[in-house]
Amino acid sequence: MAEPGQFPFVVRLYSKLKESAVTYCTATIVTSDKLLTAGHCCNTKAVRFVVSGDPDQTDFVASNDKNKYVVYFVKKIILHPNFERTETKLVHDLCLMILEKPLTLKDGRHKTIEISYEKLKRKTNCTALGWGKH
């Protein structure tokens, strides 16, 4: 389990269907207004948003005081043009989301990911992050 703030380049995606909001995927902050996530997180018509306010966001859905959070709605979804989902596989499972307004990065709570272009050696340990089921 990660500590709050340990991975400031990762945000929790929410989906709103009717009146309830549910966590459904994880995204990486590429720039202040662009997020990268899995393509299977983008192929529905649900309203999508990310939340800032509580570092681990565990109480956003249950909270009666939504004023302590900042909600950032997704305005555009760009699904990989060759995305394919079957019962047994996901191909080109990538999606870029563009936010209506940029995330606040200056407070240190959120940061863009630092991308390394070094080639990984075989058997390199990696960390997988997410709130999802996969």
**14: number of Cβ within 10 Å:** 24
Write the pLDDT tens digit of every residue in 101-113.
999 888 778 899 9
Write the pLDDT tens digit of every residue in 66-89.
667 788 889 999 999 999 999 999
Phi, psi of 36 (to 5 degrees): -110, 130
- Domains of the chain: residue spans and CATH: 10-99 (2.40.10.10)
**32: number of Cβ within 10 Å:** 17
Q: For the whole model, what pTM was predicted?
A: 0.83
For 37-51, b/e burial (b = at least 16 CB within 10 A) is bbbbbbeeeeebbbb
**59: number of Cβ within 10 Å:** 13
